[in-house]
Amino acid sequence: MSLQKLQSLLPKQIKDLCLKAEVEGSQICKLWQEYAGQFFLAHTMDNHEAINFRDGVLTILVSSTEVAEEIRTQQYKIVARINRTLGKNLILSVRFRS
């Protein structure tokens, strides 16, 4: 029995989907940072960062629960703007990690 790399067994469409998901994820994180800057003061901007998007969940890294609470007050507006910009409801929820 000969061994083959898994990559050679995967169809090109699956590889393309993975690449598209990575691009969408980084694009969504970038849009979050851009739009969040329109809603929050420098203190909040300096203490959080969108770090991951996967399966409809955007993960935000925060320095404290206070920062997370402040972001929660505006997150729905920011999510709506991102989804509108992308033309699809990609972000279904936001979670916080410290």
Give the per-residue pLDDT at 98. 93
C-alpha 51: how far from chain center: 6
The CATH number assigned to the domain holding 58 equals 3.30.300.180
Alpha-carbon distance of 20 to 24, in angstroms, equals 6
Residue 56, pLDDT above cutoff 70:
yes
User: Does the pLDDT value for residue 51 go beyond 60?
Assistant: yes
Give the pLDDT score at 9.
59
Mean pLDDT of 11-15: 58
Is residue 21 situated within a structural domain? yes
Q: How far apart are CA 50 and CA 37, in angstroms?
A: 12
Asked whether residue 86 is assigned to any structural domain, the reply reads yes
pLDDT at position 15: 56
Give the containing element (helix H, strand E) for 6.
Answer: helix 6-9
Count of structural domains within the chain: 1
Q: What is the pLDDT of residue 24?
A: 84
Q: Look at residue 22 and tell me whether its pLDDT is greater than 90.
A: no
Q: CA 26 to CA 15: how far, in whole Å? A: 17
Domain span including residue 89: 11-97
Q: Edge to edge, what strands does the sheet with 57-62 contain? A: 48-54, 57-62, 93-97
